[in-house]
Amino acid sequence: MLSGDLRKGGHMDRFHMADVIPLLPLPNAPKGRSSYYVSCPGCDTDTHKNSKHLNINLSKDVFRCARCGWNGGMFDLYAFYAGIPREKVRDALKRQLGQSGSTDDSSKNPQAWDTEIYKPSTPDVTSIADIDTRHMVYSALLSMLSLAPDHLINLLARGLSEEQIKKNEYRTTPVVGGKAIARQLLGMGYNRIGIPGFYTDSDGQWTYVSMRRGILIPVRDIQGRIQGLQVRLDNEERRKYRWVSSADIESGNNGCGAEGWIHMCGSIRERIIIVEGPLKADIVHHLTGQTVVAVPGVNSLRHLEHTLTELKELGVRRLMTAFDMDFLKNPHVQNGYGELVELLDRIWFSYGTYLWRPDYNGLDDYIWQYCINK
């Protein structure tokens, strides 16, 4: 449950994200806005650049960083900034906001509810299309694009073969021609409504989102269908990976956001490996033949429980974690690993952890450079 329900004297009271924000070292929403961006404590470290990737949605009582994938609800946000366990948040809020939760009587606690700040409005964001529709549209989109020579060289240097690169359908992001792409898809009979990456601009014309140059990476489900697209950006030192999304575009409507889907490559086996990032999963699978599942980030486990439950029903019994080796010293990554372990315990999964030389951060780098090319 994303919002906080409190029971007292036989009735239910509820706290909302708007109650919590004034208690934390975070700015309030701009007047009249129910969704806004603030600096992410995990990845927006270059304060001089005024980076703001953490989206706070007051109407849905959730938050999510578009850069590192950190996400959750009101309790998770409070627990992080207050430095207390999540299970203690309820009592802490009861002490700070009073037993009655959200209330129209703001005179008792003027910080708990500010109607001038919290005015939920219907966002111009379209519900996401079903997986079969997304797969068809994204497959058609990729068939229209090509892979630049420098991106081919990059992927080959990571250990992938030309055959595998072609099979995985990597492409170079289109940096211009969004309207032409949308029109061509319409001419092919594809509806763009509910497809992350497409939206109508200020003139009401459908277009494809403009992104910086990089490699498009299809993110696939258990059946191999394309759920969404990630981009590995060129010339980016940190946080290279972004979802193709058309949510929160100020100049347009009918946009749709990505959902942090789980990527899978390989056939169903009794034991699988879990890594961070779809491209890493593709490389590890190609080099080892093992079945690999990828989360989009160590703190982005939203869809993982459903995927693992489905895999367990199909015969998977053991999972080996292989997060990047910076989890040994990065508390942000360690928190994500702890959540993963709790999830595995909850669904009765047997698990272990792979460790390797820490000078090779990712398992893909270690296998390719140390084991194969040594």
Rounded Cα–Cα distance for residues 39 and 367 (Å): 35
pLDDT of residue 50: 62
Do 189 and 285 fall within a single domain?
A: no
pLDDT of residue 374: 61
Query: What CATH number does the domain containing 23 carry?
Result: 3.90.580.10
pTM check: above 0.75 = no
Do 270 and 212 fall within a single domain?
A: no
Query: What CATH number does the domain containing 319 carry?
Result: 3.40.1360.10
pLDDT of residue 175: 82
In a domain, 135, yes or no: yes
SS in 3 state form for 179-198?
HHHHHHHHHCCCCCCCCCCE
Do 71 and 154 fall within a single domain?
A: no
* Phi and psi torsions of 241, nearest 5°: -100, 135
Do 306 and 357 fall within a single domain?
A: yes
In a domain, 112, yes or no: no
pLDDT of residue 231: 95
Do 333 and 368 fall within a single domain?
A: yes
DSSP, collapsed to helix, strand or coil, labels residue 233 as strand
**What is the sign, positive or negative, of the torsion defined by CA atoms of 158, 161, 162, 168?**
negative
Do 351 and 310 fall within a single domain?
A: yes
Burial of residue 41 (CB within 10 Å: 0-12, 13-18, 19+) is middle
Closest among 322, 318, 320 to 364, alpha carbons compared: 322
* Phi and psi torsions of 190, nearest 5°: -105, 130
In a domain, 276, yes or no: yes
In a domain, 248, yes or no: no
Do 234 and 271 fall within a single domain?
A: no
| Nearby residues of 284 by Cβ (< 8 Å), 6 or more positions away | 273, 275, 290, 292, 322, 363, 364, 367
* Phi and psi torsions of 361, nearest 5°: -65, -50
Closest among 321, 334, 252 to 293, alpha carbons compared: 321
Rounded Cα–Cα distance for residues 319 and 304 (Å): 12
Do 135 and 84 fall within a single domain?
A: no
Do 300 and 220 fall within a single domain?
A: no
> Tokens 């390797």 sit at which residue?
356
Number of independent structural domains in the chain: 3
In a domain, 254, yes or no: no
Rounded Cα–Cα distance for residues 359 and 344 (Å): 28
Digitized pLDDT (tens) for each residue of the chain, 374 residues in all = 334 443 333 333 467 888 888 888 888 888 778 888 888 877 776 544 567 888 898 888 888 887 677 888 888 888 888 778 878 888 888 877 764 444 333 333 333 322 222 233 334 456 889 999 999 999 999 999 999 999 999 999 999 999 999 999 999 999 888 999 999 998 898 888 889 999 988 878 899 998 889 999 999 999 999 999 999 999 877 778 899 998 877 556 788 888 889 999 999 899 999 998 999 999 999 999 999 999 887 667 778 888 888 888 899 989 998 888 776 776 766 777 777 788 888 877 788 888 888 888 888 888 888 777 66
Domain edge (last residue) among 45, 71, 97 = 97
* Phi and psi torsions of 130, nearest 5°: -70, 165
In a domain, 106, yes or no: no
Do 160 and 239 fall within a single domain?
A: yes
- Residue 283 domain boundaries: 263-372
As separate numbers, helices (DSSP H) first and strands (DSSP E) second, the chain gives 11, 17
> Tokens 């347009």 sit at which residue?
252
Do 193 and 268 fall within a single domain?
A: no
Do 237 and 268 fall within a single domain?
A: no
Query: What CATH number does the domain containing 150 carry?
Result: 3.90.980.10
In a domain, 222, yes or no: yes
In a domain, 258, yes or no: no
